[in-house]
Each structure stands twice: as C-alpha cells, then as structure tokens.
Structure 1
Amino acid sequence: MTKLSVNINKIAVIRNSRGGNLPDVIEAARRIEGFGAQGITVHPRPDERHIRYSDVRELKRVVTTEFNIEGNPFDPFVELVMEVVPTQVTLVPDAHDAITSNAGWNTVKYRDYLRSRADLFHSRGIRVSIFVNPDVEMVRGAAECGADRVELYTEGYASAYPSNPEAAVRDYVAAAEEARRLGLGLNAGHDLNLDNLRYFISRIPFTDEVSIGHALISDALYYGLERTVAMYLDRVKG
C-alpha cells in the first residue's frame, strides 16, 4: 500500500506570518499521525522562511511514523540531517531563493556529488531518495548515485491531467517501471491533490510513498485536517 507523508511546511508558513507559536507545527504533526498518515515531511530552507532547523530537531523527538527531510544537500543541510537522522532524506536541487521545488536533479551531470552525499547519509543508516523528472535516463543515473529510491517530480503530471490523464501519466509510468527494474523504491510528490492522486496510484500501484503538503493543507481549510487526511488516505488506495 502506498504511504501518505504529509508535508507540514505550509503550517509553519502560517505560524511564521504572525510570530509566536500558532499554529503549533509539532502538535499538527502529532495530530496528522493520529489521523492515520504514515509519515511527516519537512523541507527546511536556508532562510527558514517556513520550517526552521529547530522545528526539525523537535519533530525528530515526537514523530513516530516515517520522518522525511527534503532539501538541497548544502553543508548546513547535511549537518542537520546527520544530526537528526530521519528515516529518509530526499535530495532536491532547490536554489537558495526558490519559492518551491521546480525541477529534478540531472543525476548524470551531478553523479559524483550526489553519490558522495548518498554515501554520507548511508553511513548513518538514512534512506536516500533523489528527486528526478520522469525521465528514464535520470532514474538510471539515480541508481548509479547510490540512491535507494527516486521521487518523481509530478508537477508536469498535475498540469496535464485535467485535459488528458493518460498522456499526463505516460512518462511517469515509464520512469516508474525503470525504477522498479533497477530495484529502486518509488516516491512521488508535487501538486498531487484530491482530483489527480487516485488515477496516478491506479497507474503506478507500486508507488511506495506520496509526499503532499500544499494541496492537503489548503484542502484542510475547507474540510478540516482530520477529514482531509482521511480523504487523501482514501485516494492512495488507488
């Protein structure tokens, strides 16, 4: 069964916009787990504009499901991950000033760099996932980097889904099949939502995990957090 990991960055955005500790991201993580989600994802950025490094440290003490930390493996990020030791680290090629993730790694060009980072995280027993576009060559490159999993960047799928679901998912199926052939686990994330998630999982039922934040937290404004988590869990059943 595909696991749902909830990215709680947007909860931290609301907190940081006002100061103080409302909403409490730690309590939100506890409740999300209690509502049935199988993981918590955070993506701390160097400017700490949403999730702070201190949040990551505190979350490590309370998260009881899988803890996934995303980010570009610059030295401060690497130091944080090596200290916290999450279940999984997802390597994402974000620039310092990126609003959100907008591309996967070129795993061929950056093979040596990514391999050195993967080896370092593996030395602490951390599962390594590399964020890639739905490109068979990039999936192969991730395997050569020593990744345990790839996370397929699904913005392209989400954008094309309303007009032609079959065409939208085609490249993702090919990339996913290559990942499976190579023995890599498979994650997916970015712009997956209540409308497009079920179809994606039905076409790639061996997806290990989806990481969803923006859409889920937005939907929670309408449906409430508990009901929203339940709705997403229903969608990942395929």
Structure 2
Amino acid sequence: MTKLSVNINKIATIRNARGANNPNVVQVAKDAERFGAEGITVHPRPDERHIRYQDVLDLAPVVTTEFNIEGYPDERFMEIIRTVKPTQATLVPDPPHVLTSNSGWDTITHLELLKDIVAELKSYGTRVSIFINPEVKYFEPAKLTGTDRVELYTEPYAAHFHANKELAVKPYAEVATIAKDLGLGLNAGHDLDLQNLRYLKECIPFLDEVSIGHALICDALYYGLENTIQLYRRQLEI
C-alpha cells in the first residue's frame, strides 16, 4: 500500500497570517493522523514563512505515524534532524529565496556532497529520501549516494496530465522501474491532487509514499479535512 503523508505547511501559513495560534499546527497534525493520514510532512524554511523551527520541536513528540522533514541540507536543517531524528529526511535542492520546490537534485554534480549528507543523516537512524527529476541519468548516481529512497518531482506530470496523461506519466513509469531495480524505495510529491493521483498510482503501483499538502488543504476548504484525507486515501487504495 502507498502511504499518504499530509504536508501541513499551509496550515502554518494560515496561522502566521494572523500571528496567533489559530489554526493550531500541532492539533491539526494529530487530527490528520486520526482522520487517516499515515505520515506528517513539514518543510521548515530558513525564513519560517510557514513551519517554524519550534513547530518541528513541538510536533516531534506527538506525531505517531511517520514524521517526514523536508529541506535543503544546510547546517540549520542538519541540526533539526540531529535534534528530532524523524522517521524520514527528504533532501530538496531549493535555496532560501525560492517560493516552493521546483526541481530535483543533480545527483551527478552533487554526488560527493550527497554521499556525506546521507551518511550523516542515516547515522541518526533516519531514513533518507532524495528529491529527484524523472530523468534516467540521475538514478544510478542516486543509488551511489546511499539514500534509502528517491522522491519523484511530479510537477511536470501534473502540469501535462489533462492534456495527455499517458505521455505525462511515461517518464515517471520508466524511472520508477529503474529505481525499483536499483533497490531504491520510491516516494512522489508536488502538485498531486484528486484528479491525477489515482492514475499515477495505477502506473506506479509500488509507490511507497506520496506527500501532499497544497492541493489537499485547498480541497479541505470545501470537503472538510477528515473527508478530504479519506478521499485522497481512496485514490491510493487500488
């Protein structure tokens, strides 16, 4: 079964807009798990425009499923992982000024850097995943880093899904098979929603996990958080 990890960054964005503690990020994480989320994802950026460092510390003792912390592996991020020791650390190559993650790692150019980072993170007992584009050339180097998993960057798939879903998913199915043959676990995330998630799962049935935040929270405005989480779970239960 493919697990659904709910990214709660947008909950923190709403809270930060008013400066108080409504909505309560920790309570939402607990409720999301109660409603069926099989993991909680956060991406604490240096400017703390959504998830804050303190949020990560507050969430760590209450998340009972899988806690996934995403981020660029600068010293601040590494310190967070050393302190919290989450289930999974997802390495994303986004510098501080970008709005959202918009590309995967060049595992060829950054092979030695990633080797060192992955080794350190795994020494804390944390599973490591590397955010990666659906390009064949990056997968054997990804394996050489020592990472446990790769996370497919799915924005291009989502962008072209409605025009031609077969063509949109083709490179993902190809690299997913390569990842499996290499013994890498497989995650996916970015712009997945209720329209495109099921088809991705059908084409890559051995996906370990999807991480979904923005679309899920937007849908929750209409359907409610509990119902929305169940709707997303059903897309994966095939």
TM-score, normalised to structure 1's length?
0.99
Aligned residue identity for 1:204: I
1:48, CA displacement in angstroms?
0.5
Instruction: Name 1:120's counterpart in structure 2.
Output: 120
Secondary structure in 1 aligned to 2:170?
helix
Distance in 2, matches of 1:71 and 1:191, equals: 17
Secondary structure in 1 aligned to 2:188?
strand
Asked if 1:195 is matched to 2:195, the reply is: yes
Pairing 1:85-234 to 2, within 5 Å after superposition: 85-234=85-234
Distance in 2, matches of 1:76 and 1:17, equals: 24
Distance in 2, matches of 1:61 and 1:178, equals: 36
Distance in 1, matches of 2:97 and 2:17, equals: 18
| Alignment size in residue pairs | 238
Distance in 1, matches of 2:206 and 2:136, equals: 17
1:150, CA displacement in angstroms?
0.2
Distance in 1, matches of 2:140 and 2:64, equals: 32
TM-score, normalised to structure 2's length?
0.99
Distance in 1, matches of 2:69 and 2:159, equals: 25
Secondary structure in 2 aligned to 1:188?
strand
Aligned residue identity for 1:220: A
Distance in 2, matches of 1:14 and 1:221, equals: 12
Distance in 2, matches of 1:58 and 1:139, equals: 35
1:123, CA displacement in angstroms?
0.6
Structure 1 portions without partners, runs of 5+: none
4+ runs of 1 displaced by more than 2 Å?
none
Asked if 1:81 is matched to 2:81, the reply is: yes
1:171, CA displacement in angstroms?
0.3
- Deviations along 1:155-207, one digit per CA (max 9) or x if unpaired, are 00000100111000000001100000000000000000000000000000000
Structure 2 portions without partners, runs of 5+: none
Secondary structure in 2 aligned to 1:61?
coil
